Amino acid sequence: MTRDQMTDPDSRTDNQATDGGRESLANNDLEGSDPTTDPLVDSSIDVDKSAAPSGSESRTVIESRDLDVFYDDVQALQSVDIDIPAEQVTAIIGPSGCGKSTFLRCINRMNDLVDAARVDGELLFEGKNVYDDDVDPVVLRRKIGMVFQAPNPFPKSIYDNVTYGLDVQGVDGDYDEIVEDALRRAALWDEVKDQLDSSGLDLSGGQQQRLCIARAIAPDPDVILMDEPASALDPVATSKIEDLIEDLAEEYTVVIVTHNMQQAARISDKTAVFLTGGELVEFDDTDKIFENPEHDRVEDYITGKFG
C-alpha cells in the first residue's frame, strides 16, 4: 500500500475539516483520477467495480420489509427495509451493538434459537417470507451458510469440521476433494494439509476463523453470511479472505459484517450502515456511501467522528 493513512479515519477527520470537502480529500491522494471513483475513506484502495458495476440493477435475493427484532423488551432492529442483490457483496457496517449480527441472524433464522428474540415484519428470501409457517428453518439454513462472529469449530478433526455440513445435509461427492478445495479457498490448506486429523480446536484463533469459513463454503450454499470473518487475521490472510469473498461473489451472494471501513470499501458492491438503536440509516452502492453519503451521521461514522 502506498498510503500511510489507509487505516486511520481519524486523521482524515481533521483533513476534512480543514479542506472543507471530500472532493479535495479524495483528490489529494489520487491525482487526476476520475473523481467519482475516489472513495472518501481511503483513496489508495480501489473500490472494486469490475465485478458488478455500481448502479447495475441486479436481482434481489434477500429483502426485508419493516423488520423489527426485539430481545424481550429491548428493540434491536427498527423497521429495517433492505434489498440485498444476488451475486454481489453487501457489507454491513455500524458501531458495536447496533444490530448487525442480529440482522444477519434474522436472515437464516438463527434467532429462532434465542428464546428472548422476537421478529416482526417480513424477511423474504427468493420472494418467500422465511418466517412463514411453512418454511423449514433447517432447509433455509442449508441454502444460507454462515460464518459466526467468534470462531466456533467443532471439537472434531479439521477434516470432520469441513465435512460436517456435507454430512448433515447428505451431500454426496468426493469429500477429500471438497475438503481440499474449501481449505484452499479459505487460505488454510498449506498450514493444515499434514494434520487434517488433528482437532480443529488445536488451531490458532485466526486459523480457526478460516476453518469456519472453509466449513461454511464446503456444502456450497446460495448465500453466505459472514460476521466479521477477518477480525483475527493478519493482513496476508485477510487479503486472501477478501479475494475469496470476491471470488464467491461471482456465483454466490455474500453478506458481510465488518468493522473495517477499508475492507468494506475494497470488497463490497453495496453497503448498509446501521447506527445505534438498530436503525438502517443508509443503504446504497458502496462508492456512494463512502464518497457521498446522504446522511451526516453516516459520514460522521465513516470518518470516525462517531462512536
Ligand X SMILES: Nc1ncnc2c1ncn2[C@@H]1O[C@H](COP(=O)(O)OP(=O)(O)OP(=O)(O)O)[C@@H](O)[C@H]1O
Task: Give the residues lining the site for ligand X (CB under 6 A).
Answer: 71, 74, 76, 94, 96-102, 114, 116, 149
Q: Which of 110, 188, 192, 302 binds another protein (CB under 8 A)?
A: 110
Closest CB 279 distance from ligand X, rounded Å: 12
Provide the H-helix boundaries in the chain: 9-19, 22-27, 100-107, 137-143, 158-169, 175-185, 189-192, 205-217, 235-251, 261-267, 286-291, 296-303
Q: Which of 39, 99, 145, 229 binds another protein (CB under 8 A)?
A: 145
Closest CB 74 distance from another protein, rounded Å: 16
Closer residue to ligand X in complex, CB, 216/273: 273
Can residue 209 be called a binding residue for another protein (CB under 8 A)?
Answer: no
Closest CB 51 distance from ligand X, rounded Å: 26
Instruction: Give CA separation, 297 vs 94, 276, 301, in Å.
Output: 11, 11, 6
- Transcribe 258-307 into DSSP letters: -S-HHHHHHH-SEEEEEETTTEEEEEEEHHHHHHS-S-HHHHHHHHTS--
Three-class secondary structure assignment of 147-187: ECCCCCCCCCEHHHHHHHHHHHHCCCCCHHHHHHHHHHHCC
The mark string for 160-199 relative to another protein (x by CB under 8 A, - otherwise) is: ----xx-xxx---------------------------x-x
Closest CB 270 distance from ligand X, rounded Å: 18
SS3 40: coil
Can residue 219 be called a binding residue for another protein (CB under 8 A)?
Answer: yes
Can residue 73 be called a binding residue for another protein (CB under 8 A)?
Answer: no
Residues in the chain: 307
State the amino acid at position 119 in one-letter form. V
Pick one of another protein, Mg ion, ligand X, none as the site partner of residue 71 (Cβ within 5 to 8 A by kind).
ligand X
Bridging pattern class, strands 74-85 and 60-71: antiparallel
Closest CB 100 distance from Mg ion, rounded Å: 5
**Binding interface with another protein (CB under 8 A):** 108, 110, 113, 115, 138-139, 141-142, 145-146, 148, 150, 152-155, 164-165, 167-169, 197, 199, 201, 212, 215-216, 219
